[in-house]
C-alpha cells in the first residue's frame, strides 16, 4: 500500500480563440466540476467519465491511500491567465506539501495548456510539483489525446498515459490504466522512456478514432503493449496552439530503453506512413445544407452536420450564426441547431415567455471575422433553467449548469439556446429544451468529433462544415507565428518556414 497525493489541472488552449481563461472560467467549469479541493474531490469524481475518477477507483481498489489536493478544469479557450495558473498550481503544490509523507503524485492533466507566460503549461505545472517533491519521487500523469507535449514535460514526468479514443469515451478508463502503471512503478521501479514528435499537423476532424486511419493506429499501438512494453500513448495534438511544440507526439515506457525506443519508433513509422490518409471533405455552409437536404430525402434518421469551427470543445463560444443562416436561407423543415450560446437572447426568451414572438439579434456575440448575428423574429417554444445531466457515452452523468435556456423556432428550424457553453456532444442537450433529435431531418451540432459518440447511432450521414468560427478546421489556414520550422501545416500540406514579414 502506498500514499499518493492526487490533483488535476486541465485546459486545452486555442491561442486563436477570442476569450482567455481566468479563475472564473475554472469555477464555472462548463461540463466539468468546479474547482475542488480536499476530500470533496472524491464525491465530485464519483461515477464521472474523467481520468481522475478512474484513477481514484483503480488506486483505491489496489489498497492505496489517496490524499486529494486540488482539481480544476475549464472549457477550452485562449490562454490561461497568469493569475489563474499561479493560483491553481499553488493550491496543488500546497496540498502536496500538506500531505506529509507520500510515495507518489498523480496529476490529471490535459496536455495542451498555454498560459500568458508559459507556452508549455503542463511542463511548468510538473516543474513546480517537482520542486516540492524532488527529483526522484514518481510523478504519474494522465493526459487527454489532444496534447501538444514537450520534451521538457517528458523529462519531468515518470510516466504519462493518454486517452486512446476520440470521441473520448475512455477518460475514466485512462485513469484506471494510469493507476495500473503506477502500481508497476511502485513494485518494479521506474520504466525506461521514449518520446517522439511527428512533423505534420492533423486536423481534429481526421483524428477521430471511430474511423480509419486513426482507429487502426490505436489498435496496432495497443497490441504492442506486451512483454517489455509497459504502456504507450499517441497524442495527435491540438492543432490550434501557436507554440513551438504544437503537433503530434508519442510516449512509450518499457522495461529497457530498447523496449521503449522500439515501441515509440514503430508507432511513429505507422503514423508517418499514413500521412496522406488523414484527409476528408469539409463543406462550406450552404453546400453542407444542400447536401444534407439531398441525403435526407427518404431517410428515417437525421443527417448530422458538424459546425466544426465553432466547437466549444476547441475554444469556440458556440455563438456563430453561419450555419443557422444557411439553414434558414435554404428554407429547410425539421432542422435543429445547438447549442447556440447567447445570454442576452436567453434572457429575452425568458422575459417574453413560452408562445411569445421575439425580434432579436441571435448569435454572433464573439465578433468572429465573417460572422454576424441573425436578426429575425423567433417563436419561444420552450424555456428551461439549464440544470441538466448528460445521458450519452461522452457526457455520461455530467451535471451541467447551462444557465437560462430555451428552444426558439424560426420557420422549420429550431434552436437549442443556452447561456453557458458546452459542446453539443449529447442528445440530451436537444431534449432538455424539448427538441427530439431523432425526429429531425437535419441536426447541426457545434462540435468537431465528440458528438459522434452519441449521434453516430442516430445519424443517417455525418457531414463536416466550416462556417466562420474560431477553430479553423484546416490548420494550414491559421496565422502561425511561433510553430517550429519545418512542420507541415496539414497532412502533405505546406511546410512552415516562419512568419512572412511585410515590411
Ligand atoms: Zn480532447
- What DSSP letter does each residue of 282-306 carry, written as one string? -B-HHHHHHHHHHHHTT-SS-EEEE
Q: Distance from the CA of 168 to the center of ligand 1, in angstroms?
A: 7
Instruction: Say how many Å lie between the CA of residue 354 and the centre of ligand 1.
Output: 37
Check the CA dihedral 489-368-80-106 and report its sign. negative
How far away, in angstroms, is 102 Cα from ligand 1 center?
30
Span from the CA of 314 to the centroid of ligand 1 (angstroms): 8
112 Cα–ligand 1 center, Å: 9
Q: What is the pLDDT of residues 436-488, one digit of tens each?
A: 999 999 999 999 999 999 999 999 999 999 999 988 899 999 999 999 999 99
Whole-angstrom distance, CA of residue 310 vs CA of residue 279: 20
Answer whether residue 418 shows pLDDT above 80. Answer: yes
Ligand 1: distance of its center to the CA of 307 in Å?
17
- From ligand 1's centre to the CA of 435, what distance in Å? 27
Question: Per-residue pLDDT for 491 more than 50?
Answer: yes
Please give the distance, rounded to the nearest whole angstrom, from the Cα atom of residue 357 to the centre of ligand 1.
Answer: 39
Please tell me the distance between residue 202's alpha carbon and the centre of ligand 1 in angstroms.
13
Rounded CA separation 47/111 (Å): 23
| pLDDT tens column, 257-305 | 999 999 999 999 999 999 999 988 899 999 999 999 999 999 999 999 9
Ligand 1 center–CA 170 separation, angstroms: 11
Q: How much is the pTM?
A: 0.90
- From ligand 1's centre to the CA of 76, what distance in Å? 10
Output the CA 381–ligand 1 centroid distance in Å: 34
Cα of 187 vs centre of ligand 1, distance in Å, is 31
- Considering the chain, what is the average pLDDT of its residues? 96
Q: How far is the CA of 413 from the centre of ligand 1 (A)?
A: 30
| Distance from the alpha carbon of residue 322 to the mean position of ligand 1, in angstroms | 25
DSSP 111: S
> What span, in angstroms and rounded, lies between the C-alpha atoms of 380 and 345?
11
Say how many Å lie between the CA of residue 148 and the centre of ligand 1: 11
Smallest Cα–Cα separation from 315: which of 10, 21, 8, 9? 21
What's the rounded Cα separation, in Å, for the pair 321 and 327? 10
Q: Computed over its alpha carbons, how large is the radius of gyration of the chain?
A: 22
Is the model's pLDDT at 503 over the cut of 80?
no
pLDDT in tens, 195-236: 999 999 999 999 999 999 999 999 999 999 999 999 999 999
Residue with cell 476547441: 314
CA of 143 to the centre of ligand 1 (A): 9
Span from the CA of 370 to the centroid of ligand 1 (angstroms)? 27
- The more confidently predicted of residues 29 and 417 is 417
Q: Of 308, 224, 300, 233, whose CA–CA distance to 262 is shortest?
A: 224
Task: Compute, in angstroms, the gap from residue 38 CA to the centroid of ligand 1.
Answer: 26
How far is it, in rounded angstroms, from Cα 342 to Cα 75? 16
What proportion of the chain, given as a percentage, has pLDDT over 70?
99
Weakest-pLDDT range from 20-34, 261-275, 316-330: 20-34
Q: Which residue is listed with cell 504492442?
A: 224
Cα 169 to ligand 1 centre (Å): 10
How far, in Å, from the CA of 313 to the mean position of ligand 1? 8
In terms of average pLDDT, the best of 14-28, 116-130, 466-480 is: 116-130
What's the pLDDT at 47?
A: 87
Please give the distance, rounded to the nearest whole angstrom, from the Cα atom of residue 181 to the centre of ligand 1. Answer: 21
**Cα 92 to averaged position of ligand 1 atoms, centre (Å):** 22
Question: Which pLDDT belongs to residue 29?
Answer: 64
User: What would the grid cell of residue 170 be?
Assistant: 475512455
**How far away, in angstroms, is 110 Cα from ligand 1 center?**
8
Per-residue confidence band for 500, with pLDDT thresholds at 50, 70 and 90 = low
Ligand 1: centre distance to CA 334 (Å): 31
CA 416 to centroid of ligand 1, rounded, Å:
24
CA 382 to ligand 1 centroid distance, Å: 32
All cell numbers assigned to 284: 462550406
Burial track 463-480 (b if 16+ CB lie within 10 A, e otherwise):
bbbbbbbbbbbbbbebeb
35 contacts: CB under 8 Å, gap ≥ 6? 26, 27, 29, 70, 71, 72, 88, 91
Cα–ligand 1 centroid distance for 242 (angstroms): 17
What integer pLDDT is reported at residue 499 of this predicted model?
79
Taking 80 as the threshold, does the pLDDT of residue 30 lie above it? no
Centre of ligand 1 from the C-alpha of residue 99, in Å? 30
Residue 18 has what pLDDT? 83
pLDDT for res 502: 45
3-state secondary structure of 6: strand
Amino acid at each position: 500500500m502506498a500514499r499518493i497525493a492526487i490533483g488535476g489541472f486541465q485546459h486545452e488552449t486555442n491561442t486563436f480563440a477570442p476569450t482567455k481563461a481566468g479563475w472564473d472560467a475554472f469555477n464555472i467549469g462548463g461540463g466539468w466540476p468546479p474547482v475542488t479541493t480536499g476530500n470533496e474531490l472524491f464525491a465530485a469524481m464519483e461515477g464521472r467519465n474523467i481520468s481522475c475518477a478512474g484513477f481514484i477507483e483503480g488506486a483505491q481498489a489496489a489498497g492505496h491511500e489517496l490524499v486529494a489536493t486540488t482539481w480544476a478544469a475549464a472549457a477550452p479557450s485562449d490562454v490561461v491567465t497568469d493569475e489563474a495558473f499561479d493560483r491553481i498550481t499553488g493550491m496543488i503544490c500546497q496540498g502536496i506539501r500538506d500531505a506529509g509523507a507520500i510515495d507518489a503524485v498523480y496529476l490529471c492533466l490535459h496536455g495542451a495548456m498555454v498560459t500568458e507566460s508559459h507556452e508549455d503549461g503542463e511542463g511548468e505545472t510538473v516543474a513546480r510539483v517537482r520542486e516540492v517533491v524532488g527529483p526522484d519521487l514518481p510523478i504519474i500523469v494522465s493526459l487527454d489525446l489532444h496534447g501538444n507535449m514537450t520534451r521538457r514535460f517528458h523529462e519531468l514526468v515518470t510516466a504519462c498515459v493518454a486517452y486512446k479514443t476520440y470521441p473520448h469515451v475512455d477518460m475514466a478508463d485512462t485513469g484506471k490504466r494510469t493507476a495500473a502503471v503506477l502500481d508497476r512503478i511502485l513494485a518494479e521501479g521506474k520504466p525506461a522512456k521514449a518520446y517522439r514528435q511527428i512533423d505534420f499537423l492533423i486536423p481534429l476532424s481526421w483524428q477521430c478514432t471511430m474511423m480509419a486511419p486513426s482507429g487502426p493506429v490505436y489498435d496496432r499501438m495497443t497490441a504492442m503493449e506486451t512483454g517489455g512494453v509497459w504502456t504507450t500513448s499517441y497524442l495527435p495534438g491540438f492543432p490550434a496552439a501557436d507554440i513551438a511544440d504544437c503537433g503530434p507526439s508519442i510516449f512509450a515506457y518499457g522495461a529497457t530503453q530498447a523496449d521503449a525506443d522500439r515501441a515509440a519508433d514503430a508507432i511513429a513509422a505507422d503514423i508517418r506512413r499514413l500521412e496522406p490518409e488523414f484527409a476528408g471533405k469539409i463543406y462550406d455552409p450552404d453546400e453542407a445544407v444542400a447536401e444534407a437536404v439531398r441525403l435526407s430525402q427518404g431517410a428515417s434518421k437525421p443527417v448530422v452536420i458538424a459546425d466544426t469551427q465553432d466547437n466549444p470543445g476547441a475554444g469556440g463560444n458556440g455563438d456563430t450564426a453561419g450555419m443557422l443562416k444557411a439553414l434558414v436561407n435554404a428554407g429547410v423543415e425539421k432542422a435543429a441547431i445547438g447549442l447556440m450560446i447567447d445570454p442576452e437572447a436567453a434572457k429575452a426568451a425568458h422575459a417574453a415567455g413560452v408562445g411569445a414572438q421575439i425580434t432579436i439579434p441571435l448569435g454572433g456575440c464573439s465578433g468572429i471575422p465573417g460572422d454576424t448575428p441573425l436578426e429575425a423574429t423567433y417563436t419561444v417554444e420552450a424555456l428551461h433553467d439549464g440544470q441538466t445531466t448528460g445521458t450519452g457515452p461522452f457526457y455520461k452523468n455530467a451535471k451541467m449548469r447551462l444557465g437560462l435556456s430555451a428552444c426558439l423556432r424560426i420557420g422549420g428550424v429550431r434552436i437549442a439556446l443556452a447561456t453557458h457553453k458546452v459542446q453539443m456532444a449529447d442528445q440530451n442537450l436537444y431534449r432538455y429544451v424539448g427538441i427530439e433529435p431523432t425526429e429531425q431531418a437535419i441536426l447541426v451540432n457545434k462540435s468537431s468529433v465528440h458528438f459522434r459518440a452519441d449521434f453516430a447511432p442516430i445519424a443517417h450521414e455525418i457531414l463536416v462544415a466550416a462556417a466562420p468560427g474560431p477553430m479553423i478546421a484546416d490548420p494550414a489556414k491559421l496565422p502561425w507565428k511561433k510553430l517550429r520550422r519545418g512542420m507541415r501545416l496539414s497532412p502533405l500540406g505546406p511546410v512552415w518556414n516562419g512568419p512572412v514579414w511585410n515590411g
